[in-house]
């Protein structure tokens, strides 16, 4: 009942980032908040949980229990905890047997209650949702090769940003970084994993791309955005905004919700008319209205998903534009962090050309100087 009324005790023990303030409300601990913000930003920059763990330990940042050594699971729990964006989800766990007193994860056995803006946020709502999206993306990664891969690499790797972004334009498989040793001369190249592991059976014409040429092409494409293609990015952002704010009365979320409310009222009225007596005509009408209600509910869910996707796209586009329009912004050399922040995917079209899709959907084709 306390949860239902929004009454609960905020846990401060063994919880990083907050302490009890003078007014009895949660108060941010600045030093711990900096560490939490660093975790979120590092994860968005492409760092793995293990890399973040190493960074925390190297900087001497202690865990919530005062330990020097971090675990990747502890970091993941922080990245997934809604409290860091100022919200609270109540009744995540419950005690099924009060004699044993063991808590169990609430998987729908009991209702949960969500409170927005309960306390000051350490990370913005946008950053938190983008991290959840990135967590889901890494967990759902398909295998590196479409066939049964010898390495079976279907998991996220943060060693090189291009491992998650460079794909073959012929078979759609990821590329992998390899070192050639020809007559004592070493060269680093990127090769299609299907071609690398199975030869020409599954991908016969994918080219091998020297890393230096690939890095140079990426730097040149980013420089071109700085030099004169920001208008295209702005146009892409404007198009997304127009799609999001489209107020076509026939399909707008408000129109759908109004129709849903009207059908629900009509459904309730017919139920009262029928009572306990059989009425074939009214029952058929009830069934028809019920089908319409179910269809509209699906439409509402679809519209909500589309709105979330459009909002995410807008946020990403704005971040790219802010980054590119920053004062003294000058790209002179390749950076994995920059690739993680700016680029969604790079497709190898041929030995001399790649297609780069920037965050938000803007694409540009770039020549490779080999």
- For residue range 11-48, list pLDDT tens digits in order: 888 899 999 988 888 899 999 999 999 999 999 888 88
pLDDT tens-digit series, residues 304-358: 776 766 676 667 666 666 666 654 556 778 888 888 878 889 999 999 999 998 8
Statement: residue 83 has pLDDT above 60? yes
Range 161-168 average pLDDT: 88
Q: What's the whole-number mean pLDDT along residues 125-148?
A: 72
Spatial separation of the C-alpha atoms in residues 358 and 243, rounded to whole Å: 19
Hey, what are 327's tokens?
Answer: 């004062």
Mean pLDDT of the chain: 79
CA distance 80 to 129: 9
Q: Is the dihedral of CA 211, 217, 222, 227 positive or negative?
A: positive
- Closest by CA to 347, choosing from 159, 220, 195, 170, is 170
Q: In the 8-state DSSP scheme, what is residue 188?
A: E
In sequence order, the β-bridge partners of residue 356 are 346, 364
pLDDT of residue 141: 59
**Between 49-58 and 72-79, two packed helices, what is the crossing angle to 10 degrees?**
100
Count other Cβ atoms within 10 Å, centred on residue 299: 16
| Interval 115-124: pLDDT, tens | 888 889 999 9
Question: Does the pTM of the predicted model rise above 0.95?
Answer: no
Extract the runs of DSSP E, i.e. beta strands, from 39-120: 88-90, 93-95, 103-105, 113-115
- Say which residue, 280 or 266, is predicted with more confidence: 266
């Amino acid at each position: 009942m306390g949860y239902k009324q929004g009454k609960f005790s905020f846990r401060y023990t063994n919880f990083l980032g907050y302490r009890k303030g003078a007014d009895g409300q949660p108060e941010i601990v600045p030093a711990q908040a900096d560490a939490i913000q660093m975790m979120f930003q590092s994860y968005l920059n492409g760092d793995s949980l293990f890399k973040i763990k190493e960074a925390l330990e190297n900087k001497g940042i202690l865990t919530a229990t005062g330990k020097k050594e971090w675990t990747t699971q502890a970091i993941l729990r922080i990245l997934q905890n809604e409290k860091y964006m100022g919200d609270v989800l109540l009744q995540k766990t419950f005690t099924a047997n009060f004699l044993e007193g063991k808590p169990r994860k609430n998987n729908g056995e009991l209702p949960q209650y969500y409170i927005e803006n309960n306390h000051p946020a350490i990370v913005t709502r946008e950053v938190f949702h983008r991290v959840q999206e990135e967590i889901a993306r890494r967990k759902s990664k398909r295998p590196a090769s479409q066939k049964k891969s010898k390495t079976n690499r279907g998991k996220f790797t943060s060693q090189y940003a291009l491992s998650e972004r460079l794909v073959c334009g012929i078979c759609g498989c990821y590329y992998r970084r390899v070192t050639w040793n020809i007559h004592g001369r070493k060269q680093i190249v990127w090769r299609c994993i299907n071609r690398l592991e199975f030869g020409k059976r599954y991908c016969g014409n994918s080219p091998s791309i020297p890393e230096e040429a690939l890095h140079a092409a990426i730097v040149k494409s980013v420089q071109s955005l700085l030099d004169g293609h920001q208008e295209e990015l702005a146009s892409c952002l404007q198009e997304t905004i127009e799609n999001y704010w489209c107020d076509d009365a026939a399909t707008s979320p408000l129109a759908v919700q109004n129709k849903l409310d009207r059908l629900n009222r009509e459904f309730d009225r017919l139920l009262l008319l029928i009572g306990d007596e059989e009425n074939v005509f009214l029952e058929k009408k009830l069934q028809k209205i019920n089908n319409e209600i179910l269809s509209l509910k699906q439409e509402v869910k679809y519209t909500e998903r589309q709105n979330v996707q459009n909002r995410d796209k807008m946020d990403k586009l704005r971040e790219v534009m802010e980054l590119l329009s920053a004062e003294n912004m000058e790209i002179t050399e390749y950076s994995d962090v920059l690739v993680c922040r700016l680029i969604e995917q790079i497709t190898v079209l041929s030995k001399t050309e790649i297609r780069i899709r920037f965050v938000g959907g803007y694409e540009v084709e770039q020549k490779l100087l080999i």
